[in-house]
Amino acid sequence: MVRLRFAPSPTGYLHVGGLRTALFSYLFAKQQGGAFIFRLEDTDQQRLVEGSEDNLLEMMHWAGLQMDEGPGIGGEFGPYRQSERLPIYHQYSQQLLDAGHAYHCFCTPEILEEMRNAQKAKGEAPRYDGRCRHLAADEVQQKLSGKAGHVIRMKIPENETVLMSDLIRGTVAIETSQLDDQVLIKADGFPTYHLAVVVDDHLMEISHVVRGEEWLPSFPKHVLLFRYFNWEAPKFAHLPLILNPDRSKLSKRQGDVAVEDYRQQGYLPQALVNFIALLGWNTSDDQEIFSMEELIEKFSFDRIGKSGAVFDREKLNWMNQQYLKDLNSGDLFELLAPYIAETPYRDEENSQLRKVSEVVQSRLTTLADIKSKLALFFEDKPTLNDAHLIEVLHEESSRIVLNEFKQQAGKAEEMTVESFLALMKSVQKATGIKGKNLWMPMRFAITLEEHGPELPQVAAIFGKEKCLRMIDQALES
């Protein structure tokens, strides 16, 4: 059975790169009728952030990635927090010691620092020099009996080329001379990622591992551990980096990287998931908008590229706008409500707020944009201060159109979409002015904006009195 896992560390927010890893794992698992597992890799006790686990789970749920197994969900392969699996790791580290694939290392932090400094002074890459690797068994036992602080390291074979198979990159070869003897059990008794991930992937019967290419340098260590245990390794897929527009690695220094940030800014989960799915993966056609069902159907590892994928915020904005346009009015208003609640207009009548939401829907890039759109409809008399608008309104043809509309609208009983269109047709007939010269002065005068929602809809929400007040202001300008 196909089983894939997403295994973040509870050390902060869910990174968009982490969401992509989770998404690709989820898509393949569901496509193959398999299981998607959430596992918490919390063995680095110094970096744990309170509330991080809940946030990770909440963001996964928000993105629509439903876990089949995990903390709080259950499953036959638990527990799913590594901190609750310590006896398991000690059992397998002892197995490596007994087989001669690992050893106790008693080097203190001071010794290690001195070692690194000496290597740097010689122009060498800092690495553990293996000095505890050949300690005599009685010396090791003596130190252990004396409660000497120690770690357990794996033995990296010397002068070997480790060949690894990757679903995206094909065969990857790394020389063991580039590796040092990795710590497997730390001095505090907790395993490092390298031991825990291999043991857990085996015991949880993980069939495929999806992760970022930053893990490639560690790949041979994991392959060797699977060999030492005589276990069949999962199939691996190392995803390309996500890059900033300048092709540097995506980082918080140049923009938002937390999934939570995008939710707060008013991006829809469907849009963010769709956008992230296309960071490094593509189909053979030009399709850009995908439902989750379509992503599950079409996803494949052989369509993932090796080169970095640029995080293009403008593309994300466009995609989010497409999803917003497709929402029905009820769902839209429900999603906008928290953002409207942050504005001075939150106490306006719900019926009016709903109408405004429908009118501006096509102009929203994110849900948060509603906060800047409401003033047009609820400010009694906004100030006209745009030089270009004032210049257009000063043209003689503009004054003719505005005065004629004012005169004819004064006789109308109410302002609806239909009556506004009828008035504009009548003004055109009376003045002989049409097209841009007819409509732009009206838009500028009533909305104080060059672009925006459909003018008849705005006028209908404003009503007759406000439309005439705005036109008076324009004529006075």
Q: What is the CA radius of gyration of the chain?
A: 32
Instruction: Select which of 252, 306, 325, 429 is catalytic.
Output: 252
- 271's CB contacts (< 8 A; 6+ apart) are 316, 319, 320, 322, 323
Phi first, then psi: give them for residue 347, nearest 5 degrees: -95, 5
- The structure tokens listed for 354 are 């709903």
Q: Is 252 an active-site residue?
A: yes
Give SS3 for 55: helix
Residue with tokens 């201060």: 385
- 366's CB contacts (< 8 A; 6+ apart) are 265, 266, 267, 317, 320, 324
Phi first, then psi: give them for residue 370, nearest 5 degrees: -60, -30
Q: Cα(304)–Cα(51) distance, rounded to whole angstroms?
A: 33
- The structure tokens listed for 281 are 């993966």
In eight-state DSSP terms, residue 113 is H
Report the amino acid identity of residue 92. Answer: Y
Q: Cα(273)–Cα(295) distance, rounded to whole angstroms?
A: 10
Q: Are 26 and 299 in contact (CB under 8 A)?
A: no
Q: Are 129 and 115 in contact (CB under 8 A)?
A: yes
State the maximum Cα–Cα separation within the chain, in Å, rounded to a whole number. 109
* CA angle, 239 then 206 then 279, to 5°: 20
Q: Cα(275)–Cα(261) distance, rounded to whole angstroms?
A: 15
Q: How many residues are there in the chain?
A: 477
Tell me which residues are annotated as active site. Answer: 252
